[in-house]
């Protein structure tokens, strides 16, 4: 089953602030791994506390914070950023 990857406006702005290589790596990861995966949870980790219900994906020093919407088969990218600041 193919998943559709959608972006919140804030996540798009955060992605554009990153260098070109990081942008390519992140977008490529979402297209090649997450969108083609039967269960995108297999590659990510669930978040806890204030971010409970969201999932994270690690790409080097960067993190993608997503909401997985099972009914509509969508992975919604909520935040993108460096690991030291993306959770704030």
Task: DSSP letter for 41, please.
Answer: G
Please report whether residue 87 resides in a domain: no
Instruction: Please state the rounded mean pLDDT for residues 74-85.
Output: 96
Q: Are 3 and 35 in contact (CB under 8 A)?
A: yes
Q: Which helix (H) or strand (E) holds 63?
A: strand 62-69
Strand, helix or coil for residue 21: helix
How much is the mean pLDDT over the chain?
95
Please report whether residue 88 resides in a domain: no
Count of domains for the chain: 1
Q: How far apart are CA 24 and CA 73, in angstroms?
A: 23
**CATH classification at residue 37:** 3.30.2310.20
Please report whether residue 38 resides in a domain: yes
Please report whether residue 51 resides in a domain: yes
**pLDDT for the residue numbered 26:** 97
Q: Are 31 and 18 in contact (CB under 8 A)?
A: no
Please report whether residue 32 resides in a domain: yes
What residues make up the domain containing 27?
4-82
Please report whether residue 9 resides in a domain: yes
| Per-residue pLDDT band at 24 (split at 50, 70, 90) | very high
């Amino acid at each position: 089953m193919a998943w559709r990857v959608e972006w919140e406006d804030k996540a798009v702005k955060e992605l554009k602030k990153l260098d070109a290589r990081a942008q390519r790596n992140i977008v490529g990861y979402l297209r090649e791994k997450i969108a083609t995966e039967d269960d995108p949870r297999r590659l990510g980790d669930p978040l806890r506390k204030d971010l409970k219900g969201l999932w994270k994906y690690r790409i080097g020093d960067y993190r993608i914070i997503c909401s997985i919407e099972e009914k509509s088969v969508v992975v919604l990218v909520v935040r993108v950023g460096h690991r030291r600041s993306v959770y704030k």
